C-alpha cells in the first residue's frame, strides 16, 4: 500500500477538523526540565549528522532504521561509528556510549518509494558497547499502540535545536493505518528515531518512533512506526547473535528529500540526519 492512500485518509481527517489544540515545543535546557527525559539522547552518526534515540534497556537504544544508512551512497553504515549521547544538553551528555551491534527490521528497504511498508518497518535497535547504569537515566518501557484521537508526546533533537532536546507534550494521533501512525507532532531533520510517548498514571511509555515528516494539504504531520511486532523481531535477532556489521553490502539509491509527491497533494520527507 502506498503512503498516498494513507495521505488521502489523513486529508479527510484534516478537512473534518480533527486537529485538537497541540502544545508547542518546550526546549529542555535546564536539568530540572530535562531530568525525566535523560534516557532520550542524540545519536551522532560518524560525524556526518545525527538522529534521536531512546533507551529501552540499559544497553538497548531504539531509533529509526534509516539512520543507519548513508544518505549519499544508500549503503548501510558501520554502526561502530555511531555514538549515543544520553541526555545531551548544551555540550555535555549524562552518558556517552559507542554501539557494539545494530539490527534493522528485516523487511525494511532503504531505496524504495515512500510507502506504508517502509515506514512501518523503519525501526532499528542498537546494542551499546557498555550498559548505562545511572540512577538518573532510567530506560523507558514500551506500550501498545495508541488509537485515533489519543494524546501523545514526542522528545526530539532537530537541525535547529541540536544542542538540547525539545518536548512536545501534547499532540494527537490523527490516524493509524497499515502499521503507520500519523500524528500532529512537530518534527524536523534530526528527529528521526525520536520516541513518541503516551502518558498514563504519570508515566511515559514509548509507542512509536518518528520515521518521517509530511505536509498534507498545508498541514504538518509526522509518521511513526508501529512497534510491537517489529520490536519483538529485533530483540530476537540480537538474542540470536545478529547485528554484526557486514563490510560488503549492496549499493542502493536514496530517495531525495522532497522527491516523493502524490496526487493527493501530500509531500513526504524524512527528518533524517
Instruction: Specify the pTM.
Output: 0.85
Task: Cell 518534527: give the residue.
Answer: 187
Q: Answer yes or no: is 21 within a domain.
A: yes
Q: Answer yes or no: is 73 within a domain.
A: yes
Domain CATH code at residue 151: 2.40.10.10
Q: Answer yes or no: is 249 within a domain.
A: no
**113-165 per-position pLDDT tens digit:** 667 888 889 999 999 999 999 999 999 999 998 999 999 999 999 989 999 99
pLDDT at site 8: 53
Owning domain of residue 118: 3-242+255-269
pLDDT at site 258: 31
Chain length of the chain: 273
Q: Answer yes or no: is 15 within a domain.
A: yes
pLDDT at site 36: 96
pLDDT at site 251: 38
Count the domains in the chain.
1
- Sequential pLDDT tens for the chain (273 residues): 455 555 555 545 554 455 556 778 999 999 999 999 999 999 999 878 999 999 999 999 999 999 999 888 888 999 999 999 999 999 999 999 999 999 999 999 886 566 788 888 999 999 999 999 999 999 999 999 899 999 999 999 998 999 999 999 999 999 988 889 999 998 988 899 999 999 988 899 999 999 988 887 778 899 999 888 889 999 999 999 999 876 544 333 333 233 333 344 445 555 655
Rounded to 5°, angle at Cα 184 from 148 and 15: 75
pLDDT at site 110: 86
Q: Answer yes or no: is 248 within a domain.
A: no
List the grid coordinates of 265.
Answer: 497533494
Alpha-carbon distance of 49 to 43, in angstroms, equals 8
Q: Answer yes or no: is 250 within a domain.
A: no
Q: Answer yes or no: is 24 within a domain.
A: yes
Q: Answer yes or no: is 115 within a domain.
A: yes
pLDDT at site 85: 98
Amino acid at each position: 500500500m502506498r503512503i498516498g492512500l494513507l495521505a488521502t485518509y489523513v486529508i479527510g481527517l484534516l478537512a473534518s477538523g480533527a486537529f485538537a489544540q497541540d502544545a508547542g515545543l518546550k526546549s529542555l535546557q535546564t536539568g530540572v526540565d530535562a531530568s525525566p527525559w535523560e534516557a532520550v539522547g542524540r545519536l551522532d552518526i560518524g560525524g556526518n549528522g545525527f538522529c534521536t534515540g531512546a533507551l529501552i534497556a540499559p544497553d538497548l537504544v531504539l531509533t529509526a532504521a534509516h539512520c543507519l544508512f548513508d544518505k549519499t551512497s544508500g549503503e548501510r553504515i558501520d554502526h561502530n561509528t555511531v555514538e549515543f549521547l544520553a541526555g545531551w544538553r548544551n555540550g555535555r551528555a549524562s552518558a556517552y556510549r559507542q554501539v557494539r551491534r545494530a539490527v534493522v527490521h528485516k523487511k525494511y528497504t532503504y531505496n524504495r518509494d515512500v510507502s506504508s511498508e517502509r515506514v512501518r518497518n523503519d525501526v532499528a535497535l542498537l546494542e551499546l558497547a557498555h550498559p548505562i547504569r545511572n540512577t538518573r537515566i532510567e530506560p523507558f518501557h514500551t506500550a501498545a499502540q495508541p488509537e485515533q484521537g489519543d494524546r501523545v508526546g514526542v522528545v526530539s533533537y532537530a537541525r535547529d535545536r541540536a544542542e538540547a532536546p525539545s518536548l512536545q507534550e501534547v499532540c494527537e494521533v490523527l490516524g493509524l493505518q497499515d502499521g503507520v501512525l500519523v500524528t500532529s507532532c512537530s518534527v524536523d531533520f534530526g528527529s528521526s528515531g525520536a520516541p513518541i510517548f503516551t502518558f498514563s498514571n504519570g508515566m511515559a511509555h514509548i509507542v512509536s518512533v518518528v520515521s518521517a515528516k509530511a505536509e498534507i494539504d498545508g498541514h504538518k504531520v509526522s509518521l511513526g512506526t508501529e512497534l510491537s511486532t517489529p520490536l519483538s523481531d529485533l530483540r530476537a535477532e540480537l538474542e540470536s547473535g545478529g547485528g554484526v556489521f557486514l563490510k560488503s553490502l549492496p549499493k542502493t539509491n536514496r530517495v531525495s528529500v522532497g522527491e516523493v509527491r502524490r496526487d493527493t497533494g501530500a509531500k513526504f520527507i524524512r527528518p533524517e540526519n
